[in-house]
Chain A
Amino acid sequence: MVTRILTIDDSKTIRLLVARAFKPFDCQVIEAANGVEGLAVAAREKPDLIILDITMPVMDGYETLTRLKSNPELKNIPVIMLTAEAGRDNVLKIARLGVRDYLIKPFKEEQIIERAGRIVDLKTRGESSHGPKRFDEALQLLVVDDKPAIHELIRNGLSDTPWVVEGRVSAEQAIDYCSSCATPDVVLVSLSIPDNAAFNLFHMLRASVMTKNVPILAMSVKTALEEQVQATHIGFNGVITKPIDLTDLKTRVTRVLNLDTSYKYYQIRQGVMVLSLPQMLLPSILNEVSFHLRAKLVEGVDSGVNKLVIDMSQVQAPDVRLIKLGLQAMHFCSELSVRHSLIGSEAVCKECKSYEETKDWRFVNSFEEGLVALDGKQLAAV
């Protein structure tokens, strides 16, 4: 749900500044130019947060706040006061009126976001409005390690992906990057950076509205068990041990970001859905294929594609897990009235003969033959 923020300020400049500050977030900023207007808008819109100026014509911030707090329907809306007056008396007066927080002008946009983020759940626009990111998107990985060689190792190791690796050698540099550049999709922090800085960095990233939901993976040498336990305990999203296994790293990033990898296995070709299985059937790959199977078939049926070709021609070492996946596919096809055909390697055909449930499966040799089989024409069984 979109967070609704009401800014009550007689200055259009300030209202524009507030609206601009919240632009990266899934927020709707509503404006009012004085207290009277603000109370009417608050009653009508029931915002999640009000940012209220003090010095205003018609009705000032003090009176507006007093009226808000005396209205049973509005009194629970949190209010942040925006004031140019930092004096003791003013601050005490504001506090007594029941504001959740206050911000002294001049202010930076980050400050208003930080204060608001303590009160309402701010989600960046991409976070809530789009589905999961795809594996082949240009994801930003921030690698924090005092050894630049590690940045390079990860950068080179991920060069077969479109992912962008930004290396930083200290927690300070990482914070600067996060506050001045784009928010990274994932942060990898070495637990060995000096002065316990990895843990401090973790807390700082979690405290910032921009990075509070960014997955943070710890990097640690295999033998440093104590720091790994500590990292898990404080809430790191996972620990990657050094030396880094880059295949494992890709899998971990895929998991923590819940990346959509279905496009690697499911395509639409000539009006038919094709499920292509790779040569090496790692458990992680089978899990991914299985995870997306029903959703992809439903998606196909909804868009008028009700034929499936399962291409297992590349699979060289089939086992019972492949058989289970095949049976699962048959079940879904039957449930959704999707016609299917199978392309199999010699090894797959042989493996299927050894199970009661699959011994009668018929395989074809190519996609073209698969299309013919889907049209109901008989082909010689392989």
Chain B
Amino acid sequence: MQEEMLQDLDTHINNAVKDVFGTMLNYELEPMTITGDTWTMNGQPHVAGCVGFTGELNGVVYIYASEVFARRMASRLLGMDPQAVEAGEMICDTMGEIANMVAGPIKSRLSDNGMACVLTIPAIIRGTNFVVETVSSAERRFFAYRCAEGEVVTEVVIRHKNAN
């Protein structure tokens, strides 16, 4: 994949994440440096919202957050007390919807550049220690952010449909 295009995509991913967290949750995200290309959960329960896109390009957008922060996000989004947020459904639904909102502009950018694709239904991964592995031909982009209430990591995996 061309470097220029990846840089353009990086800008869009950054803008999308900041826009979603700013508009829906009123969080001002600050970029955060992470070491290497992975990010550890430190044994804390985490939730990842994932939305795939498929077409000329195939890929997945992951949004990772600790379960504590995910609960705060859900409570903030719905204007509810954090304790009133249902542990399973509401947190998962919120993380899935955030992933969907971040994936939307990425998909739109790709489509506008002639790489038509469609989004999948959001899925959720939950656990205290999981790693997403990808095939070597895929591009992986990590973006980490922090705000006053927690940290969030966005991972975008992209692969051209004809890549080996």
A90 and B111 contacting across the interface, CB-CB below 8 Å: yes
Q: Could you say which of A12, A85, A105, A108 contacts B107, with CB atoms under 8 Å apart?
A: A85
CA distance A11 to B122 in the complex (A): 9
Chain B positions within 8 Å of A56 at CB level: 121
With contacts A55-B119, A57-B121 taken as known, whether A106 is within 8 angstroms of B101 at the C-beta atoms is yes
CB-CB contacts below 8 Å: A93-129 with B:
104-108
CB-CB contacts below 8 Å: B84-109 with A:
89-90, 93-94, 96-97, 100-101, 103-105, 107-109
- B99 → A minimal CB distance (Å): 10
Chain A: number of interface residues, binned into ranges: 20 to 34
- A86 → B minimal CB distance (Å): 5
Q: Could you say which of B94, B103, B120, B121 contacts A84, with CB atoms under 8 Å apart?
A: B103
CA distance A16 to B97 in the complex (A): 12
User: Interface segment, B28-36, B71-79, B129-137, B156-164?
Assistant: B71-79
Q: A20 at the A/B interface (Cβ < 8 Å)? A: yes
A106 and B24 contacting across the interface, CB-CB below 8 Å: yes
Chain A positions within 8 Å of B100 at CB level: 11, 55, 84, 105
Q: B19 at the A/B interface (Cβ < 8 Å)? A: yes
Q: A304 at the A/B interface (Cβ < 8 Å)? A: no
Nearest opposing residue in chain B for A54, CB measure: B119
- A92 → B minimal CB distance (Å): 11
Q: A10 at the A/B interface (Cβ < 8 Å)? A: yes
CA distance A179 to B113 in the complex (A): 38
Chain A positions within 8 Å of B94 at CB level: 13
CA distance A17 to B77 in the complex (A): 8
Chain B: number of interface residues, binned into ranges: 20 to 34
Q: Could you say which of A16, A57, A90, A107 contacts B108, with CB atoms under 8 Å apart?
A: A90
Q: B116 at the A/B interface (Cβ < 8 Å)? A: yes
- B72 → A minimal CB distance (Å): 14
Q: Could you say which of A20, A87, A107 contacts B79, with CB atoms under 8 Å apart?
A: A20
CB-CB contacts below 8 Å: A1-30 with B:
10-14, 16-17, 20
The dominant DSSP class at the A interface is loop
B93 and A87 contacting across the interface, CB-CB below 8 Å: no
A85 and B78 contacting across the interface, CB-CB below 8 Å: no
B93 and A108 contacting across the interface, CB-CB below 8 Å: no
Chain A positions within 8 Å of B120 at CB level: 55
CA distance A57 to B122 in the complex (A): 10
CA distance A67 to B117 in the complex (A): 23
B97 and A11 contacting across the interface, CB-CB below 8 Å: yes
B23 and A86 contacting across the interface, CB-CB below 8 Å: no
Q: B20 at the A/B interface (Cβ < 8 Å)? A: yes
Q: Could you say which of B19, B97, B104, B119 contacts A13, with CB atoms under 8 Å apart?
A: B97
Nearest opposing residue in chain B for A23, CB measure: B79
With contacts A55-B100, A56-B121, A107-B23 taken as known, whether A13 is within 8 angstroms of B105 at the C-beta atoms is no
With contacts A106-B19, A106-B24, A108-B23 taken as known, whether A85 is within 8 angstroms of B104 at the C-beta atoms is yes
A12 and B105 contacting across the interface, CB-CB below 8 Å: no
Nearest opposing residue in chain A for B121, CB measure: A57
Q: A88 at the A/B interface (Cβ < 8 Å)? A: yes
Q: B3 at the A/B interface (Cβ < 8 Å)? A: no
CB-CB contacts below 8 Å: B1-59 with A:
19-20, 23-24
Q: Which of A12, A56, A83, A108 has the most CB of B within 10 A?
A: A12
CA distance A16 to B112 in the complex (A): 32
Nearest opposing residue in chain A for B23, CB measure: A106
Nearest opposing residue in chain B for A108, CB measure: B23
Q: A356 at the A/B interface (Cβ < 8 Å)? A: no
Chain B positions within 8 Å of A360 at CB level: none
Nearest opposing residue in chain B for A16, CB measure: B78
Nearest opposing residue in chain A for B24, CB measure: A106
Chain A positions within 8 Å of B116 at CB level: 89
Q: Could you say which of B74, B79, B103, B104 contacts A86, with CB atoms under 8 Å apart?
A: B104
Q: Which of A16, A84, A104 has the most CB of B within 10 A?
A: A84
A106 and B121 contacting across the interface, CB-CB below 8 Å: no
With contacts A55-B121, A105-B100 taken as known, whether A12 is within 8 angstroms of B24 at the C-beta atoms is no
A13 and B23 contacting across the interface, CB-CB below 8 Å: no
Chain A positions within 8 Å of B107 at CB level: 84-85, 87
Chain B positions within 8 Å of A90 at CB level: 108, 111
CA distance A106 to B19 in the complex (A): 7
CA distance A230 to B46 in the complex (A): 61
With contacts A17-B77, A55-B121 taken as known, whether A105 is within 8 angstroms of B101 at the C-beta atoms is yes
- The 10 A-B residue pairs with the shortest CB-CB distance, nearest first, are A84-B104, A87-B108, A106-B23, A106-B24, A87-B111, A105-B101, A13-B93, A85-B104, A106-B20, A11-B97
28 A-B pairs in the complex with CB atoms less than 8 angstroms apart: A11-B93, A11-B97, A11-B100, A11-B122, A12-B90, A13-B74, A13-B90, A13-B93, A14-B97, A57-B121, A83-B104, A84-B100, A84-B104, A84-B119, A85-B105, A85-B107, A85-B108, A85-B119, A86-B105, A87-B107, A87-B109, A87-B112, A88-B111, A88-B112, A89-B116, A105-B20, A105-B104, A106-B19
